[in-house]
Chain A
Amino acid sequence: MFIGFFLALRKAGVRVSLRELLMLQEAMAAGLAGFDVERFYFLARATLVKDERFLDKFDEVFGQHFRGVLQPQAEVPDGVAMRDLPEEWLRLMAEKNLTDAEKAEIEALGGFEALMETLRKRLEEQKTRHEGGSKWIGTAGTSPFGANGYNPEGVRIGQPSGRNRSAVKVWDERSFKNLAGDVELGTRNMKVALRRLRRFAREGAADELDLPDTISATARNAGYLDIKMVPERRNAVKILLLLDIGGSMDDHVALSEQLFTAAGSEFKHLVTLYFHNCPYETLWRDARFRKSDAMATDDVLHTYDHTWKLVFVGDAAMSPYELIQPGGGISSMNTQSGQAWLARIVKAYPAAVWLNPVAESHWGYTQTTRVIRDIMGERMFPLTLEGLDGAMKRLMR
C-alpha cells in the first residue's frame, strides 16, 4: 500500500505528506496506472513529488524499492500473506520518520490502525470496482501471479505492457540528477532561507494609506470620508551587501550575489558594494574596481544609515598583514588597518552578519578568520542552507 515506499521517500529527504499518499491511493483506485509499471511510476511521481529538486531522489528510491517487484524473485516464500506482516514494522518506521505534526494528523484520523484501514478499504474498493483489480493486491490465492513478486507492502505492481519500452527503466536513467540540490548550496535551497527574510520584512512593515479601500469604504459610507490603512505591501528591509571579490571563493560570492539579487524585488532596497579581501577606506559599486565606481567608506556609512542591514560575504582569509597592519591592503594605501575599518563598519550597523563560503570546521585554522569572527561578535555563518538560515534569523532579531 505504498506506506513503505512513502516512508522510504521521507527517509531519503523527499517531503511527502499523508495527504499525497492518499491522493495516490485515490488515483490508483481510479485506475489511472492500469497495470503498467511505467505508468505507475509517472503517476506516483506526479502525485508525490512537488519540487524538481526531489525528482532524482524519487527515482533513486523508486528504483531501490520496487526492484524486487519488477523482477519477481523466486525466493519469496510461497503462501505467506505478506500483507499482514509489515504492520508492526511499519509502525516502527513511522515512529522514526514522521514529524510530530503528522503523528498528530494520524491520531486525528483515528490512529494508525484507522489509517491502515482506510488504505485497505481503498484497495478493496478498487478490487471490486475494477475488473482484474485483485492483481494489485498481494494476498496469496487471489493474485494470479502467485506469491512471486509481492513487495513487502503486499501490493503487486503489474508487469510492463508491450508498449514501446526501452531496456532501461525510466527511473534508472536518473535524468533529473542535475536538478537535485541537496548537498552543495545551490540557488534553489538558498531561496528557501531567503524566504524567511521576505516573510519577516512583510510583518515588520509600516502602515500606509489604502487608497482603494478608503474610496470603497467612503463610497459605502455614502460619501463620508472613511480612511483605511494597511500594512505596507512592500518589504521594508534594506540590505547593504558587501562582497569580497577577487579570490578563490569568487564563485560562491557570485552565487550569493545572484541570490540576493533574485530576492531583490522583495527588499525595499538592495545595494551591493565590493571590496578585495578586506574593506578599507574605499568600496566599489562594481567588481571591476574602477576609479569611477569608487565610493569612500565614510560616505557609504553616511548614505546608508543604521536601519540598513549589513551582509558581508567573503572567506575572511588573507595574510594577517592585510588585516592588522596600516598600509597592509593589497590594493589600497590604507592609513588605518583593515581591522579598524571593519570594526567601524560593523559598529555602524547593529544588524550585521558575515557569510563565509569556507566550511566552518576550517575557520579556526586561519588567523584572520578568527580575528574577523571576533570583530563580528560571533555573527559569522557558513554559506550553507543552515548557515544562511541562521544568518537571516540573526539579522532579523
Chain B
Amino acid sequence: MRFEGTENFVATEDLKMAVNAAVALQRPLLIKGEPGTGKTVLAQEIARALGRDLISWHVKSTTRAQQGLYEYDAVSRLRDSQLGDARVHDIGNYIIRGKLWDAFEAPGSPVLLIDEIDKADIEFPNDLLLELDRMEFFVYETRQTVKAKTRPVIVITSNNEKELPDAFLRRCFFHYIKFPDRETMQKIVDVHYPGINGLLLREALTSFFELREVPGLKKRPSTSEFLDWLKLLLAEEIGPELLRDRNAAKLIPPLHGALLKNEQDVHLFERLAFLHRRNAV
C-alpha cells in the first residue's frame, strides 16, 4: 500500500517517495524542516493512510534512550517491600514498558513517531542504534528478549538543534521539508479551510510570503502560524479589501500577532511599518 497523502495532509512527490521507500525497506525515516511545516502531523497521517496505529514518543532534553525500551521502577519495589506487599517478589511488576517496546509488540506494525530527536542528548540516537536496527532488546531484570513481530514504521523528526551522528543517519531515509511554495500552501489551506474565499486567500498568501521576506526576523512565520492567522481572519470576518489595502497606514496586516510570536519581531515589524509610513508621507 502506498502513501499518497491524505485528505488532511498535502504531500509533495518527493515526500511521498521518501515515505514509501522507508515503509517498503523498513528503515527509519528522518524528517527535518522548519518548525510548523508538518513534521509531526506527517506521522499521524502516515498511520491513518496505512491504517496503522500511531505510537508517539515525544523527546525532551531529559529523555534518555533507555526510557524508550523500559524502566525498572525500583522505588515502588522498595516501598512495596517495606510494606510487605507480595507483589515485590515478581520483579516483572516493576518493569515499565517504553514506547519502543509498545511498538515492537503492537499487532499490525504500527507507526512509531520519535518526535524532535535532536532535543535530547547528542548520544541519544547512538544509544538507540542497535535496537532500531535489530528491532529487539534484552530486559536484564526479567531476562526476556523483546523482539518486534513485525517491524514498525519509524518516523523521526528533528528541528536541527543538534547534529545527528553519521552512523545513525546512514540507516535512515531522509527528507527535508522544503518550505511550501505558494501553490503548495494554497493546497494546504484548501485542506484546512475548504471553500475559503479565493480572493481573501490570495491576499493573505501575498501578505504572508512578503512578511516572511522581511529581513532580520528572528522567527519567520511558518505554515502553522499562517493557518492560525487565517482562522482569525475568518473568525473576525476580515475581508480581502482590508488585506489588499497596501497604503502605508495599513501596512501592518490585521491580527499580525498570530503570525509573529516573538516580541522582538513584532517590534521590528512595527518599526519598519512606521518608517515606511513616514517615507510615504
Contacts and interface: CB of A to CB of B under 8 A. Distances in A.
Contact of A27 (B25, B121, B161, B166): B25
Interface string B5-44: 0000000011001101100110100101000000000000
Interface string A209-253: 000100111111011000000000100000000000000000000
A79 B163 CA distance: 48
Contacts of B174: 46, 49-51
A32 B17 contact: yes
B170 A19 contact: yes
Chain A interface size range: 35 or more
Contacts of A179: 176
A27 B74 contact: no
Interface stretch (B75-83, B105-113, B256-264): B75-83
Given A39-B17, A195-B122, A23 B25 contact: yes
Contact of A175 (B18, B171, B178): B178
A285 interface: no
B201 interface: no
Interface in A272-324: none
A30 B24 contact: yes
Given A38-B13, A43-B17, A223-B81, A195 B163 contact: yes
Nearest to A19: B170
B74 A220 contact: yes
Contacts of B171: 19
B25 A46 contact: no
A237 B82 CA distance: 42
Contacts of B75: 215-216, 219
Contact of A50 (B14, B74, B172): B172
Contact of B78 (A192, A198, A215): A215
Interface in B121-165: 121-122, 161-163
A56 B40 CA distance: 25
B79 to A, nearest CB: 9
B244 interface: no
A120 interface: no
A46 B32 contact: no
A216 B14 CA distance: 48
A55 B174 CA distance: 11
B187 interface: no
Contacts of B17: 32, 39, 42-43, 46
B48 interface: no
Contacts of A216: 72, 74-75
B57 interface: no
A27 B21 contact: yes
A52 interface: yes
Interface in B84-114: none
In terms of DSSP, what is the predominant structure of the interface of chain A? helix
Nearest to A265: B61
B70 interface: no
Contacts of B72: 216
Nearest to B161: A262
A15 interface: yes
A199 B77 CA distance: 36
Contacts of A219: 74-75, 77-78, 81
A87 interface: no
B169 interface: yes
B175 interface: yes
B20 A32 contact: yes
A124 interface: no
Contacts of B169: 50-51
Nearest to B19: A46
A216 B81 CA distance: 13
A379 B126 CA distance: 34
Contacts of A191: 162-163
B173 interface: yes
B25 A218 contact: no
Contacts of A15: 166
A42 B18 contact: yes
Nearest to A218: B78
A274 to B, nearest CB: 19
Contacts of A17: 166, 170
A45 interface: yes
A97 interface: no
A52 B32 contact: yes
A192 B178 contact: no
B13 A46 contact: no
Nearest to A192: B163
A257 interface: no
A27 B178 contact: no
B163 A23 contact: no
B74 A47 contact: no
A117 B128 CA distance: 32
A60 interface: no
Given A47-B173, A176-B176, A198-B122, 8 more contacts: A27-B24, A30-B24, A39-B17, A42-B18, A43-B17, A50-B30, A50-B172, A218-B74
25 contacts: A17-B170, A19-B171, A26-B25, A27-B24, A32-B17, A32-B20, A38-B13, A39-B17, A42-B14, A45-B14, A46-B14, A46-B18, A46-B21, A46-B174, A47-B173, A49-B174, A51-B174, A52-B176, A170-B14, A175-B178, A176-B176, A191-B162, A191-B163, A216-B75, A223-B78
8 closest A-B pairs by beta carbon, nearest first, are: A216-B74, A42-B17, A50-B169, A219-B74, A46-B18, A219-B78, A52-B176, A42-B14
